[in-house]
Structure 1
Amino acid sequence: MADRSLILTLAKVLIAAAWVDGEVTQDEINSAKDLLFHLPHTAANAPGMRLTSREWSILEMYVESPVDAAERARLVSELQTALRTPEDKALVLDMLEEVVRADGAVSPEETAVLAEIKESIDQADTGLMGKLSRLFGGAVERRSEAAQGPNRELFYDDFVQNRVFYSVNQRLQAEGKSLSLDDGDLRKYSLAGALMAKVAQTDRTVTDAEFEAMAEALQERWDVARETAVFITEVAVSQISATQDMYRMQREFASLTSETERERFIEVLFLVAAADDQVSFEETEEIRLLANGLNLSHSQFIAAKLAAAGQSAP
C-alpha cells in the first residue's frame, strides 16, 4: 500500500507532467486531486489523504506556474527513490496515464514526457538489491543529484507570506532576467503592489486607471523605474486573490516600513481606489481594515483619507 511520501511526490510529478504542453487544465488538476482523496492513507487506516494546509500549499506551488525539464527531472528522481514495491510502480504508471489523458487530448509533448517518466519508473529497482542500494548509498547519491535541480519548495515561506515577491522571482528566473533592486526593497514593493491590488479588486475588476495609479505610486513614492513598476503591478494584479493571507502580508509590510511611510501608503490606497473617479464604501472599508492591520490608528486613517482628497484634517 502506497505511503504518504510516495503519494505526495507522485502528485507533484503528475502536475509537472501536465505542465509539459505549457498549461495545466482544470481536468488535470481534478485528476491529481482525486489521487489524493481516493488513495488509502495507511497511517490513519482510513480512505483518502488527509493533507495539511502546508502540503496543499506546496502542491499549489506546482499548479501555479510551469515546471521546466530540470525541475521535473528532480521530481522524477525523488519519485524513483520513494518507490518500494512493484505495486508502487504499477500505481504510479496507472496514475500518470490517467492524469495526462484527463483533458481528453494528449499532445505530442505529453506523449514524449510520459514515455520519459515511464522509462525512469521502470528502471527503479524495488527488489531486495534496490532496497539495499537505497540503504547503503544509492538513494543518497540520487538525492544529492536531484537536490542540484530547481526546487521551488525552498521558497515556500515567500509563497505563503509574500506571493507577489515569490511570483516576481519565478518570472524573472523563467525569463532569465534580473531587476536592479536589492532583496529588501523588492520585498517591500511587492507587498505594496499586493495591498494596492487588494483594494483595486474590491469590486472584482481592476480598471486600466487603477492599474496605472498603482504603477505610478511605485514610481513616485518609491522612485521605482517605470518598467519595473509596471512589471511588479502586472504580477500583483495577476496574483491577488481571496485565498491569500492578508494578515501575513500586512505584518511583513509593517515590519519593512516606518509609521510615516505607512500613513502615506494609506493615501496611496485611496488614490488607487479613486482612479476610476469614485471611491466606493466597500473600497473605503477595505482600506480601513488594511490601515488597522498596518498598526495605524483611526485618526491616522481619516487623515490619510482627507489628504488623498486634497483636504486637511480638522
Structure 2
Amino acid sequence: MIESLQRLFQDMMAVGEPPEKGEPTLALATAVLLCEVARADYHLDDRELARLREVLGQRFVLDLSALDALLAQAREEVDTAVDHHRFVSSVREHCDYNERFELVRLMWSLALVDGHKDPLEEHRIRRLAELLHVSHGDFIRAKLAEEGASPG
C-alpha cells in the first residue's frame, strides 16, 4: 500500500517532465493506453474525451494544466509511436494485478461512454488486456460491469 502511494506521488511529480531513458511515467503510460482505446474506432467523441479527462484527473490527482499537458503528450505518443510495448511494460511493471484489472475496467467505461459498443474498441481492449496479463475472465467481468453501469 505504501509503495502504491509512493508510486502515485512520484508519478504526479513527474507528469510534466520528460521520461528518463525512454521509460514513460505511469501517468503517461496509462493515458496512452486509454487514448488508444478512445481512438480505436477512428472517432474521438466529446463524451469520450470528457471521460478520459475525468479518469486521468482523478486517478493521478492532476490540476487542469497538468492534465492538459499529459493528454497532449499522450495523444502525440499515440500518433507517433510505432508500438505501445513500452507503455504496456510500464503499467505491468508498476501495477499489481488489481490495478491492471481496474485499468481494463476504465477502458471499458471509456469505450461505452458514448452508448455504443464498437467492435474496434472491443478488439483493442481485448488485445491490451492480454498484453497487460489480465485474464480473459476478468476482461469479460470488467466488460459486463461497465455494460451494466453505462446509460443506454
Q: What is the TM-score with the length of structure 2 in the denominator?
A: 0.76
Deviation readout 1:102-145 (Å, 9 max, x if unpaired): xxxxxxxxxxxxxxxxxxxxxxxxxxxxxxxxxxxxxxxxxxxx
Q: Does 1:268 align with 2:106?
A: yes
Q: C-alpha displacement at 1:204, in angstroms?
A: 2.2
Structure 1 equivalent of residue 38 of structure 2: 200
Q: C-alpha displacement at 1:274, in angstroms?
A: 1.7
Deviation readout 1:205-240 (Å, 9 max, x if unpaired): 322221111110012233333432233123212331
Structure 2 equivalent of residue 11 of structure 1: none
* Counterpart Cα distance in 2 of 1:223 and 1:239: 21
- Report how many residues are paired: 132
Deviation readout 1:40-89 (Å, 9 max, x if unpaired): xxxxxxxxxxxxxxxxxxxxxxxxxxxxxxxxxxxxxxxxxxxxxxxxxx
* Counterpart Cα distance in 1 of 2:49 and 2:82: 20
The one of 126, 134, 144 aligned to 1:296? 134
The one of 50, 54, 75 aligned to 1:237? 75
The one of 225, 228, 233 aligned to 2:66? 228
Structure 1 equivalent of residue 56 of structure 2: 218
Unaligned runs of 5+ in 2: 1-17
- RMSD of the TM alignment (CA)? 2.2
Q: C-alpha displacement at 1:246, in angstroms?
A: 1.4
Q: Residues 238 and 276 of structure 1: is their aligned pair in 2 closer, same or farther, counting only changes over 3 Å?
A: farther
Greater relative CO (CA pairs within 8 A, separation 6+): 2
* Counterpart Cα distance in 2 of 1:308 and 1:291: 15
Letter of the structure 2 residue corresponding to residue 229 of structure 1: L
Q: Does 1:307 align with 2:145?
A: yes
Map 1:94-243; keep pairs closer than 5 Å. 155=20, 157-158=21-22, 161-162=23-24, 187-241=25-79, 243=81
Structure 2 equivalent of residue 146 of structure 1: none
Q: Residues 275 and 242 of structure 1: is their aligned pair in 2 closer, same or farther, counting only changes over 3 Å?
A: farther
Q: C-alpha displacement at 1:291, in angstroms?
A: 0.5
Q: Is the 8 A contact 1:188 1:256 kept in 2?
A: yes
Q: Between Structure 1 and Structure 2, whose CA radius of gyration is higher?
A: 1
Letter of the structure 1 residue corresponding to residue 32 of structure 2: A
Q: Is the 8 A contact 1:216 1:229 kept in 2?
A: no
Q: Is the 8 A contact 2:112 2:147 kept in 1?
A: no
* Counterpart Cα distance in 2 of 1:235 and 1:276: 24
Letter of the structure 1 residue corresponding to residue 98 of structure 2: T
Q: Is the 8 A contact 2:38 2:110 kept in 1?
A: yes
The one of 281, 304, 314 aligned to 2:119? 281
Q: Is the 8 A contact 1:197 1:240 kept in 2?
A: yes
Structure 2 equivalent of residue 258 of structure 1: 96
Deviation readout 1:155-175 (Å, 9 max, x if unpaired): 5x42xx53xxxxxxxxxxxxx
* Counterpart Cα distance in 1 of 2:38 and 2:88: 16
Map 1:10-21; keep pairs closer than 5 Å. none
Q: C-alpha displacement at 1:265, in angstroms?
A: 0.8
Q: Is the 8 A contact 1:211 1:233 kept in 2?
A: no
Q: C-alpha displacement at 1:249, in angstroms?
A: 1.5
Q: Residues 270 and 198 of structure 1: is their aligned pair in 2 closer, same or farther, counting only changes over 3 Å?
A: same
For residue 295 of structure 1, give the secondary structure of its aligned residue in structure 2. Answer: coil
Unaligned runs of 5+ in 1: 1-151, 163-186
Structure 2 equivalent of residue 131 of structure 1: none
